[in-house]
Structures are given as C-alpha cells and as structure tokens.
Structure 1
Amino acid sequence: MANITESAPFNYTIDGSSLRFDLAMNGCSSNCYSNALFWNQLASYGVPNSGTDNATNISLDLYVGMDSAGINNSQALEFTVNQTFCTSGACPSGTYTKFIYSFQCDFGNTRLWRIWDGATDSWVSTGAGCVRFSNTNPNGPSFNHFVFNFTRPDLSHVHYVDFYVNNTHVVVNQTLGAQNLGSTKAHEFNASMQLDGNFSGVPYSTWVDKWNITYQ
C-alpha cells in the first residue's frame, strides 16, 4: 500500500492524491489463489456508536484503476462495508450481529457481479455481467467509478438496492441474511476493498481515489 500524490496532469489520481493497493507475489507458481484486504475502521472498534449502529442506509462511492497485470489476471475485486453491533438481549452482553454488505466483481470465474450472504457464508449471483477493466491512459490507469447502495431492513438481513459502474445502473433488489455472532462483543463499522489473485499468483496493483461512505 502507498499514498500517491502528484501534480497535474494527473495519471495515478483524479484529484492529486490516491491510494495504491498491491497484491504481492507470494512465491507460488500454481494453485496460488490469494487475496489482500485493505480496510478503514470508521468508528472505534469495540465501542458502541449510535450513529453507525443505527445506520440503515449505506452507500459506498469510489474510483478504481488497475495496472495491466491486474486487467489481465485479477481473479476478482471485492467492495465491502461491515456493520456489527448488539441486536438483542441485555446489551452489551446480548447477541451481536454482523451485517456484511459486499459486492464482488468476479472476473476469473463466473464473470458476474455477486453479493454476499452472511447467513450462509456464500456468494450469490446478481445476474449482472462483470467485465475486466480496460485502459486508455498511456501514462497510468483509467479510473472506473463505482457506487454501491445498501439498506438494512431489520436486525437479521441486509438489502442490496443497486449499483453503478460508470454510467451503467444495475438494479439488484435482493435481501440476504446477516451473520449471527452470538455473544461476541464486536462493535465495528468499516469499509474495505479486497484484491483477489488468480491460479498463477500474478501480482498486480490498483489505485483508489475519492473513496467515500455515506450512511444515515
């Protein structure tokens, strides 16, 4: 990971600064599936926070570019918001639930956008196609704009509303389960991006800019 700053003309940023996320070579040559997770804790971990605990409408908005190695070899990219708090019983000693709002662009397998079902620990297809990035910038990555919208309809489900890829709008409208953590005391609210590696373990880099999360 690296903080990138540059002056105009911008090649690796949109506004002069970005984050570079790297999936490094792991010394493997076959059956090398791996991942690198980059996350930002937006509320103090383990501490109740009425603002993030009560949030029921969440949007993740970011721009992502990828190098040629990633364009050709990335297995998948994952975009996630995690929300965990006490949902029943005598809190803080009651039952905790983890709401995982996660989209995966599955380049290497299904070539579809998939969403996470926390109740079954599995990916569910949206039916929407996920295409590999392309690059028209000879001096750096071309950025793609992603917006993901979620709601929390109750204390045991997450609802995937829709998402945007550049100017393409995809309606999802699927409700899936949350993950029951039992008595585990784990308040959290974070946003993350995960780089997934392919069978051959090809390393690659992405650049992320204007990464915003809004909630209410």
Structure 2
Amino acid sequence: MAHGGFNKRRVSEPKQSAGSSSRRSKVLRVEKKPKNVSIKNQMRSVERFLRKDLPPEVKESLVEKLEDLKKQQDAHARLAVERKVFLRNRKIKFFERRKIERSIRRLEKLQRTSSAHVGDTDIAEQLTKLKEDLEYVRFFPKNEKYVSLFTGGEDPEVVEKRGKLRKQVKANIIVAAASGKELEETGSEDDGLLDLSDDDFFDKGSSSDEADADDELTDKSAKEAASSASGRATSGMSSDERNQV
C-alpha cells in the first residue's frame, strides 16, 4: 500500500477567532494617562474660543480665565529666573569656599613646616583674612544677591556692597552667639556635587590634600623599606646574633 500522501499531511493550527484576538489586544493595551495641558496651550484654547460669537456671560468668564492664566505664566517665568540665579549663586559660593579652604590649609601647613617661624606674622594675617572670607561665604544672608569675593575687582560700587555685607554677616554671627543659637550656613559644601573641572584654580598644581596624601605615602613607603631592609639583615644573622639584637 502506498503512503506517498502521508508526508504531505500538515497539522492544522487552531484558528483564532476575531473575538479572542480583540480581547487579547485589549489586555495588552497600556492605558495612557492624560497629559497635563501646559498654561500656554490653555491660553491658546481660551483665545480661540474668544474669537467666536459667544454670549456676554461666557465671554466674560473666559476673559477672567485668560487673565488668571497670564498671571500663572508670569509667576512661572519669575520662579524660573529666580531658580536660575539661585543655582548660579550656589555654584559661585561652592567654588569660592573650596578656594578659600584650600588656601587656609596651605598656609597652615606652611606655618607648621616653616623653619625658625620665618614670616609667621604675615602668615597669621593672611589666615585671619581668609577665615573672614570663609565666614562671608558660609553665612551669607539668604535674602541677598551674592556678591563674589573674587570678581568685581576694585569697582567702588562692588567694594562698598561687599563691605556692607561683610558687616551684616559679622553682626549676624554676634547676634547668634549671644542668643546661644547656631547661625544657619548658606554656603555649605552639601549644596551639591559640582564639576570642578571648569574652574582654572583647580587645574593649577596639586592641592594641599594631595600634598598631604603624597607625604603620607612617602612616609609609609620609607617605613616599609626600612622594615624590609631590617628583615633581610636579620635573616642573614645566626640565631645567637639575632638573640643579641
């Protein structure tokens, strides 16, 4: 008996009905959340309605809504500008604080390592000035626009403004100390992790932190070398010689 037609047989796949396909598509379909309409688009929509022939009461209501939307738009624009200024000031204060603190560490290290305390008076004066600068950055009044310590040069207006703000910061510190309260810092290092590569100051030489780390590494290497040499010398001795040592 010939079975030639056996290989031509195909297993028919079950057909899916249109109803089951649509149900599956409904299950897989992700429900989209309604988008928030921007103030600008809301204003355009209201303006389009106002161009139509509308009853007076409806038109009056739409005009009021349009005015309210314009106020919201102005408020948002003002907040955006204020935020931009705030972030810029925060970045400037962050950089200036880092510069001042590094200068203080360098001078303090120089003061410790200088032979015969040469130039101690000059170093002490510089440290006093830098610590005043650090107070200025740390406790700068929140409600004032920041006046940089390193820009503005000798411009009389900038110098006068900076001088007044220095006095204000000192007065705030005295008042806080008298009341037994800690003055809130406005120039904290926790303001944000900022990219320091844009600032020329951090590209010039190694910082005092790096120098301290290098000194520590050098001391450690010297101690390890001495310990290793001592070990080799001891291993070459006899047991009696080691006991004598």
TM-score normalised to the size of structure 2?
A: 0.18
Structure number with bigger Rg:
2
| Structure (1 or 2) with the greater helix fraction | 2
| Structure (1 or 2) with the greater strand fraction | 1
TM-score normalised to the size of structure 1?
A: 0.19
